[in-house]
Structure 1
Amino acid sequence: MGVSERPSGPAGPGDRRGGQDGDDHDRTPVDELIAIALADTDPDGPARWQAISTLQGRGDLETFTVARRLCGSSRPAERVLGADILGELGRDRPFSDRSLPVLRYLAADELDARVLYSVLIAFGHLRDRRALPSVIDLAAHENPTVRYGAAYALPHVMGDPPDPAGLAALRRLATDPDEDVADWAALGLSLSGHTPERGGSAAGGEVEDLGGQVLDP
């Protein structure tokens, strides 16, 4: 169980603004939106993310309950969808305290790399330091897609000042054999005010051109 390529495309995590820009007037039934999202088998598909954005924008208990149920599904696609919804559910993340235990349970027991990737992106969006132990554990995962998700999440959950164990994990990822993982981790280090180790990713030499932007993969 796993994926050979990390998700990419125009609807990547950085473009997922459902929790901020959801249409408060769209009252399509939750089950119908879930069906639309599941019917689009492309993880970055526009129909899928339009449905997720609408759900996230509601930020209500009904949506949280459905997303939590999806996270416990026997189908990986449904667990992915549940994690994707929880990461940006509601404008001020009103269900963060309830979402974290669900996501941390998935992080501990999940075998599917695509599910773990979505869990890590959700951790990054929630920006809660309580997720750090889970992210550190997954930073050593055998699948580069999962490590890529950890490289994204770590700068957002290390805290300020950054937790030493989290910083050490990010430094290890900056020397990862997978170029994309190493580049993203080096970028996270640089934007957090730290310098990648010598011999690490080339991204450290390019970060000055980014103007201090906080980017999503």
Structure 2
Amino acid sequence: MTVRDGHGAILTHVEELLGVRTPFEELMDRALAQVDQQDHATWSRASLQLSGRREEATWAAAAVLRTSPDPSRRLFGAEVLRLIHLFDDSDEDAFAGPALDLFTGWAAAETDVAVLTEVLVALGEHSDPRAEAALLPHAGHPDARVRRAVAHGLSALSSPPAFSGDARTALLRLMAGPDAAVRKAACYTVAVGRDHDPVFADAMAAALDDTDRLVQLAAVYGLALHDDERCVEAARLLGPPQRGSLEEEGYFDAVWRYEWRRDGR
């Protein structure tokens, strides 16, 4: 009870190993019984197990939760639906179309912040203009979690290879917003995007003066990926990566690789 906070997740996993098909409602009830719900191991085990079934019956049971008056049930349904599509590695990808259709309409109507965030995360897993059209209206949402989901979600939409004008405007605004986590997410999306317009390089250069180290590092990373010389001095000023931080090491490694390309080695 101290280490595992109950055995709901273990029970669910053992049932799966033994071939016991626990009904959708029972697994959902286990997840909803947890105080911290979505962050709890029982919730994640239940949603992962259901999503692994990849069948119409499970999809329908999760989809009907969209109309539930209980935000927790809507959140659980949204996560299951998102994971069904995310982990569908079949050639048919049968759930891609239904997922996009469902989540685009859901994003316009959802009022609960946690549920809306999950829906926007799901939309960000689709490289489709309809996903962008559903994401962008929430770029100015008052809750940082929602704005961060928009910033992350737009990363799937730079393959044309340029961002649309509206997406570009939203990303530049998010990079200069009040929340550090949102600024970092937007900067990272710009960094890994294939749109190398100089306006993005200048915005990342401006982010080098950010008060948050991770935002600065994301900017250094982006400038390196965009072959911008300003990343070298910025990396030097930031000093070595923090010990044990793989994220920081990855950012600095991009600068080393830029210098390698620049010097023709």
Q: TM-score, normalised by structure 2?
A: 0.65
Indicate yes or no: 2:153 matched with 1:170: no
1:32 to 26, 46, 61: 26
Amino acid across the alignment from 1:170: L
Count of aligned pairs:
191
Amino acid across the alignment from 2:192: L
Segments ≥4 residues shifted beyond 6 Å: none
Tell me the residue number matched to 2:51. Answer: 56
Q: Percent identity?
A: 29
Indicate yes or no: 2:198 matched with 1:199: no
Secondary structure, in 3 states, of the residue corresponding to 2:134? helix
Higher helix share: 2
Tell me the residue number matched to 2:42. Answer: 47
CA distance in 1, matches of 2:80, 2:129: 20
Contiguous gaps of at least 5 residues in structure 2: 1-15, 208-214, 225-249, 255-265
CA distance in 1, matches of 2:128, 2:61: 22
Matches within 5 A, 1:51-200: 51-90=46-85, 91-92=88-89, 93-164=93-164, 165-193=166-194, 194=196, 195-196=200-201, 197=203, 198-200=205-207
Sort the Cα spacing of 1:184 and 1:26 in 2 relative to 1 into closer, same or farther, 3 A: farther
Contiguous gaps of at least 5 residues in structure 1: 1-21, 213-217
Contact 2:158 2:193 in 1 (8 A): no
1:63 shift after superposition: 1.0
Structure of higher CA gyration radius: 2
Bigger RCO (CA 8 Å, 6+ sep): 1
